[in-house]
Amino acid sequence: MTRMSMVQALNNALDLMMAENDKVFLLGEDIGRMGGDFGVTRGLFDKYGAERVRDTPLSEAAIIGTAVGAAMVGMRPVPEIMFADFLGTCYDQIVNNAAKMHYMFDGQFKAPIVIRTAAGGGFGGGPHHSQSVEGWFMNVPGLVIVGPATPHDAKGLLIASIENDNPILFLEHKALYRLKGEVPPEKYSVPLRRAAVVRPGSDVTVVAAMKMTHEALAAAEELTAEGISVEVVDLRTLRPWDQATVLESVAKTGRAIVANESPKMGGLAAEVSATIAEEVFAKLKAPVQRVCGLDTPIPFSVPLEKIILPGKDDIKTAVRAVMDY
């Protein structure tokens, strides 16, 4: 095992896959000599050259449009959209082209594209550089959404995504880029569509992803002092999410919290909590609670941003509420 940051783990995954398969290539703004805005592609331009690490114009629509065309003729593009907020400018290429490709052409064409992008707030980036965008895409058949919480999972999930034949939106939370963890140096994959029980417990289940997984783990640790045993489930794949693991956990504990950084309405937490209520209602000892960001654009002000975004204290409050039933 090697200790790596999430940035290093992602870079290592890209390096391994590019070395193994010459159909894998990268494209995006400033990903070449600069190595990307967050350093994920650093060193790959010098190793693989401008043909396979392609700097593009400042046009997200051109980046994803190019990726869709390349995928249709057998390539496996890994485009980078610098900030997830900018996915709005290439929404049509993702939703109406890539996600529908296999269906519309009855499998004659496919779109094995992995769209890497930096998501999430907490650093004072303001309303156009801080959003959690998974809710924008939850209603899109044909699209897979992945959100790793650790360097180990980031590398394994990225490898699995590049090898997958579906279009994949790969969300990298900016607050986790410098997080370090133990990562095998060799190639391995973490299965898509499979959640992980990252902390066992018996009283309440907290379902989370990306940064909120760490907030849930911190809350669970502190709640042990109150005699509350919290099980934490990290979704890892957000669409289609692992219902079996989540429902098994909730059926065991009888209480559920769903934590997601984006606003409540129409998002991941709404989908997961509704499914829990539909499928294991008879097992519930309390209503399902959601812990989400407030329904407002994210401000530049860091003190205000801390109010907008959910954290461990919000999860602790929700856990105490369901324990009181």
- Res 125: pLDDT: 93
End-to-end CA distance of the chain: 44
Tokens for 30?
């400033």
Identical topology for domains 2-183 and 196-323? yes
Contact between 257 and 205 (Cβ < 8 Å)? yes
Catalytic residues: 129
205's tokens = 């289940």
User: What is the DSSP code (8-state) at residue 201?
Assistant: -
Class of domain 2-183: alpha beta
Gyration radius of the chain's alpha carbons: 19
CA pair distance 257, 249, nearest whole angstrom: 11
The helix-helix angle for 312-323 and 211-223 (nearest 10°) equals 50
What gap in Å lies between CA 32 and CA 43, rounded to an integer? Answer: 8
Architecture of domain 196-323: 3-Layer(aba) Sandwich (3.40)
Which tokens hold the place of 320?
A: 């105490």
Per-domain boundaries in the chain: 2-183, 196-323
Low-confidence residues in the chain, pLDDT < 70? none
Q: Say what the pLDDT of residue 184 is.
A: 97
pLDDT on residue 51 = 96
pLDDT score of 260: 98
Length of the chain: 325
- Per the structure block, which two tokens stand in for 231? 């099980």
pTM over 0.85: yes
Contact (CB, 8 A) for 177 and 210: no
CB 298 within 8 A of CB 283: no
